[in-house]
């Protein structure tokens, strides 16, 4: 089943996170396409040395806004979704293999069009690793997997399916439509993706550890600093 999955990873100026991601996916049968919007390429274009299914694509800014570059990369990414199933993933996040297999079996069985699940966030602090159950309120909600589009559209709670496993044709449709226009406010694009997802997909949430998210410590800067 994993050999029928393509994961597209957008990235920007994060070569160390990208190296860790490549190492995670290296020994799996998953096809991975990295879409890098950095001003300079950190890896050679094409199939990565020592791998069989990991590809790197450089998309330096071509007199574009950040949003236009992002849209160009995602539009290209949809053309690479040639396997039966596909997903988007950050460069510092990964899916668990057990979660992937369960999700793929559910989608392949025709129960739903997409699957997401529980998120574990880990934070490395010196010699200690701290774990948190991220988004603990997310759960399976029957309206999200309803066969009625109207019922799915009127239900705006539940898990965020941006990082879910999809039937490839569904994910292609979502992002092909969502990137037709560039919005002046980035969050508007995210909102559109969520609405279009509810139109095209029945989404199931599984009660399994599905997504591993790398935590970040952001420095707290006093407002007095700028006085």
In tens digits, the chain (227 residues) has pLDDT values of 999 999 999 999 999 999 999 999 999 999 999 999 998 999 999 999 999 999 999 999 888 888 888 888 988 999 999 999 999 999 989 999 999 999 999 999 998 999 999 999 988 888 888 999 999 999 999 999 999 999 999 987 766 788 899 999 999 999 888 877 777 777 888 888 899 999 999 999 999 999 999 886 544 333 333 33
How many whole angstroms separate alpha carbon 121 and alpha carbon 90? 13
For each of the domains in the chain, give its residue range(s) and CATH number, in order of start: 2-216 (3.90.550.10)
What is each CA distance from 222 to 215, 217, 219, in whole angstroms?
Answer: 22, 16, 10
Q: Which long-range contacts (CB under 8 A, 24 or more apart) does 62-71 make?
A: 65/182, 66/37, 67/182, 67/183, 67/186, 67/189, 68/182, 69/37, 70/10, 70/37, 71/179, 71/182
Q: Are 118 and 133 in contact (CB under 8 A)?
A: yes
Strands 54-58 and 85-88: unpaired
**What pLDDT does residue 204 have?**
96
Q: Are 170 and 164 in contact (CB under 8 A)?
A: no
- Please state the pTM of the whole predicted model: 0.89
**What pLDDT does residue 3 have?**
96
What is each CA distance from 37 to 10, 65, 129, 179, in whole angstroms?
Answer: 8, 11, 30, 16
How many whole angstroms separate alpha carbon 134 and alpha carbon 64? 34
**What pLDDT does residue 225 have?**
34
Q: Which two tokens stand for residue 70?
A: 């992002």
Residue 147 CB: number of other CB atoms within 10 A?
Answer: 7
| Nearest CA among 102, 122, 95 for reference residue 28 | 95
User: Would you say how long the chain is, in residues?
Assistant: 227
Residue whose token pair is 């995210």: 190
**What pLDDT does residue 173 have?**
93
**What pLDDT does residue 116 have?**
95
């Amino acid at each position: 089943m994993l050999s029928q999955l393509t994961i597209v990873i957008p990235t920007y100026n994060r070569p160390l996170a990208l190296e860790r991601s490549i190492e995670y996916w290296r020994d799996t049968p998953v096809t991975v396409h990295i879409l890098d919007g950095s001003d300079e390429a950190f890896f050679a274009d094409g199939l990565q040395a020592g791998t069989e299914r990991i590809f790197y694509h450089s998309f330096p800014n071509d007199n574009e806004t950040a949003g236009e570059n992002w849209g160009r990369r995602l539009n290209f990414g949809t053309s690479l979704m040639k396997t039966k199933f596909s997903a988007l993933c950050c460069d510092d996040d990964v899916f668990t293999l057990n979660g992937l297999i369960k999700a793929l079996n559910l989608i392949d069985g025709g129960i739903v069009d997409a699957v997401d699940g529980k998120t574990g966030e880990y934070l490395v602090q010196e010699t200690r690793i701290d774990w948190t159950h991220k988004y603990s309120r997310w759960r399976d909600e029957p309206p999200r997997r309803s066969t009625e589009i109207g019922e799915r559209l009127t239900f705006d709670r539940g898990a965020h399916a941006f990082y879910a496993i999809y039937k490839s044709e569904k994910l292609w449709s979502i992002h092909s439509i969502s990137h037709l226009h560039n919005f002046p406010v980035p969050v508007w694009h995210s909102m559109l993706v969520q609405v279009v997802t509810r139109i095209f997909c029945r989404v199931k949430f599984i009660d399994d550890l599905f997504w591993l998210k790398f935590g970040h410590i952001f420095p707290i800067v006093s407002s007095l600093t700028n006085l």
